[in-house]
Amino acid sequence: MEPDNGTQISEFLLLGLSQARELQPLIFGLFLSMYLITVFGNLLIILAVSSDSHLQTPMYFLLSNLSLVDICFTSTTIPKMLWNIQTLSKVITYEGCITQICFFILFAGLDNFILTVMAYDRFVAICHPLHYTIIMNPQFCGMLILVSWIISVLNSLLHSLMVLRLSFCSDLKIPHFFCELNQVLQLACSDTFLNNIMIYFSAGLLCVGPLAGILYSYSKILSSICGIPSAQGKYKAFSTCASHLSVVSLFYGTVLGVYLSSAASQSSHSSAIASVMYTVVTPMLNPFIYSLRNKDIKGALERFLGR
């Protein structure tokens, strides 16, 4: 795209989390460690689920998909950040920035949808246990994942194509460690009204909608658990969805915290630091939450590692 002054845009500058050179080795080591833990932990979940016949159920099929998406989600941003720190560069190409926007929106949307499908799975398991195997059959689960991919791909492509039509000014510094859509739009010289409308529309439809579905599912789950007469039965029912509820709380809590705090402070640097919570920390913690609170996963991991 060409800005108003007629020069061709070839790159943006990612300012990262800190400009202080003495902090770069610390940031590099910290994020490399978190990235490796994220990839290794989620990969273990995928291998454990796929290798254990006892885990060939809808719940663990969805969990393995969540782990795959978490690996891809983190890999969209962190490797480029680490490369820039290692090479003492802040540059990301124009094409690379658009690609990063596209994949970041894609995998963030998939995270959102898969968490919603997992909430529906727990709703059916607890509120309609006699019909669970009929409703949550492999074909239906596969269709839910496929629909989630289709909607997420279309949404990310639409946002990316709308960025492609924009022209940019001479100041191409992004105060973030990746090409975050809102930050990129602030650098545009052309009108971004349609882009902002699309952001609000997709956020309302693809974020608020699934979150409302999750809250509705858990309200029904809580109502069903309260109706169970025995304390042991209540504990068993709650334990089947405790891990998912923890992950949902962590994901949506950090996302809402980032955007509400950034709206209040109007600080791009503070927003970049807070974004680490849902882009890096949450995908890293998900395998620990599921493995520590789930005997089936722990058993499958022990058998897999024992090989």
Tens-digit pLDDT profile for residues 245-304 = 888 888 888 777 776 665 555 556 667 777 888 899 999 998 888 877 677 787 877 787
Q: Residue 227 CB: number of other CB atoms within 10 A?
A: 11
Does pLDDT of 1 surpass 50? no
Tens-digit pLDDT profile for residues 186-224 = 899 889 999 999 998 998 888 889 999 999 999 999 998
Sign, Cα dihedral of 236, 239, 244, 249: positive
CB 69 within 8 Å of CB 114: yes
SS (H, E, C) 92-153: EEHHHHHHHHHHHHHHHHHHHHHHHHHHHHHHHHHHCHHHHHHHCCHHHHHHHHHHHHHHHH
Q: Domain tally for the chain? A: 1
- pLDDT for the residue 46: 94
- pLDDT for the residue 266: 54
DSSP 178: S
CATH number for 85: 1.20.1070.10
Does pLDDT of 7 surpass 80? no
Nearest to 119 by CA among 35, 63, 176: 63
- Residue 39 in tokens: 């990839």
Does pLDDT of 29 surpass 60? yes
Does pLDDT of 2 surpass 60? no
Nearest to 73 by CA among 41, 118, 35, 40: 35
Specify if 130 maps to a domain: yes
List the domain range (segments joined by +) for residue 277.
11-306
**Among 47-51, 79-83, 273-277, the least confident range:** 273-277
Rg (CA), the chain: 21
- pLDDT for the residue 181: 92
Reading across the β-sheet that carries 11-14, which strands appear in turn?
91-93, 11-14, 173-174
Average pLDDT over every residue of 83-103: 95
Specify if 6 maps to a domain: no
Does pLDDT of 52 surpass 90? no
Average pLDDT over every residue of 36-41: 96
- Residue 92 in tokens: 């990301």
Q: What is the mean pLDDT of the chain?
A: 88
Specify if 146 maps to a domain: yes
Tens-digit pLDDT profile for residues 150-185 = 999 999 999 999 999 999 887 789 989 999 998 899
- pLDDT for the residue 6: 38
- pLDDT for the residue 4: 42
Q: Which amino acid is at 204?
A: G
The dihedral formed by the CA atoms of 269, 253, 39 and 138, expressed in degrees to the nearest 10: -140
Does pLDDT of 103 surpass 90? yes
Percent of the residues in the chain that have a pLDDT greater than 90, as a whole number: 55
Distance between alpha carbon 261 and the CA centroid of its chain, in Å?
A: 19
- Residue 189 in tokens: 């010289």
- pLDDT for the residue 267: 59
Nearest to 30 by CA among 82, 77, 107, 95: 82
pTM (2 d.p.): 0.91
Specify if 205 maps to a domain: yes
Average pLDDT over every residue of 113-130: 94
**Alpha helix ranges (H) inside the chain:** 24-51, 58-75, 78-86, 94-127, 132-135, 138-164, 181-185, 193-203, 209-226, 231-265, 268-276, 282-292, 295-306
- pLDDT for the residue 122: 92
- pLDDT for the residue 5: 40
Specify if 2 maps to a domain: no
Sign, Cα dihedral of 48, 50, 51, 52: positive
Q: Give the pLDDT band of residue 242 (cuts 50, 70, 90).
A: confident
φ, ψ for residue 76, nearest 5 deg: -70, -30
